[in-house]
Amino acid sequence: MLKVLIVDDERLARVELKRLLGKIDGVEVVGEAKNANEALTALKSQDIDLAFLDIQMPEISGLELAAEIDSPEINSKVQFVFCTAFSEHAVDAFSLNAADYIVKPVNPERLQKTIERVRELMAQPTPQNPQDAQQAKAHAYLPDTHGLLLKFGHSSRIVRLHEIERFESVGNHAAVYTSSGKSFIHCALSKIEARLDPSLFFKASRSDIIRVDNIVELQSAMTSGCLLAIMASGSEIEVSRRQASALKQVFNVF
């Protein structure tokens, strides 16, 4: 039985999420909290497997609460999921060790996938050393079906990882190139790389991470001696000399 805590300052939001979770087999809502302090008390006093966190809450935000949860002082086995209506915050799941995030209003099918994702994470072997457990959790790769809530003009949409062609470092942000166009997230490229499955994404250089199955051709760069990765979109991404041989090996399987 998956024991769940719901943290949201809006009562109706808690009621609705509890109703949806009640329809999923093997899930039990054992507590509710309307703020971060109540949530921390519950986490320290109850046996909880998963916490759903609203982000926009008074005094202590869901992001700040997540940082507290993701520490040995609370419980290294507790998973947490962001449940938010605010697109500008959802991408911070990359820099924190969130199992997933879902967008309000909550879609039942999406919630089911989130629970399945959490069960997969919980099924992984737990290291005996608490510090090792934290490191293992931090390096859990995001599934290819994981979505980012990205802004395009005046609208936002969820883009799955398999729809992303590449990430490009732009200062302390990253540009995200997708089938829907270009967007930005406030996250360092190194943190993004740590959460991506290396069998699906490849760090071409200090500034670019590209999706392997979107590469259609590799060419030698005439001037620099590097490689050019020609992407399905037609973009030409320079692969550093240091990474060039590693990328060739990805395709040399025989």
Dump pLDDT digits (tens) for 140-151: 677 777 777 778
Percentage of the chain lying above the pLDDT 90 cut: 43
Q: What is the mean pLDDT of the chain?
A: 83
With a CB cutoff of 8 Å and minimum separation 6, the contacts of 213 are 200
DSSP three-state, residue 37: helix
Whether the predicted pLDDT of 239 surpasses 70: yes
Q: Tens digits of per-residue pLDDT, 81-104?
A: 888 876 555 555 555 667 887 888
Specify the 3-state DSSP secondary structure of 145.
Answer: coil
- SS3 percent helix, strand, coil of the chain, rounded to 5, is 35, 30, 35
- Token readout for 209 is 């991470």
Closest C-alpha to 199, from 211, 190, 188, 191 = 211
Euclidean distance between the first and final Cα of the chain, in Å? 45
Q: What is the CA angle 225-240-141, rounded to 5?
A: 155
Domain-wise residue ranges, the chain: 2-138, 153-251
Indicate the class that CATH gives domain 153-251. mainly beta
Asked if residue 227 lies in contact with residue 247, where contact means CB atoms within 8 angstroms, the answer is yes
Query: Are the CB atoms for 46 and 5 separated by under 8 Å?
Result: yes
**CA 201 – CA 116 distance, rounded (Å):** 23
What confidence score (pLDDT) does residue 153 get? Answer: 81
Instruction: Please tell me the distance from the alpha carbon of residue 75 to that of residue 60, in angstroms, as a whole number.
Output: 19
Summarised one tens digit per residue, pLDDT across range 152-185 is 887 777 788 899 999 999 987 889 999 889 998 8
4: burial class by Cβ within 10 Å (0-12, 13-18, 19+)? buried
Which tens digit of pLDDT belongs to each residue from 14-25? 999 999 999 999
Q: Residue 115: pLDDT band by 50, 70, 90 thresholds? A: very high
CATH superfamily of this structure's domain 2-138: Response regulator (3.40.50.2300)
Average pLDDT of span 230-249:
91
pTM of full prediction above 0.75: no
Rounded Cα–Cα distance for residues 50 and 45 (Å)? 14
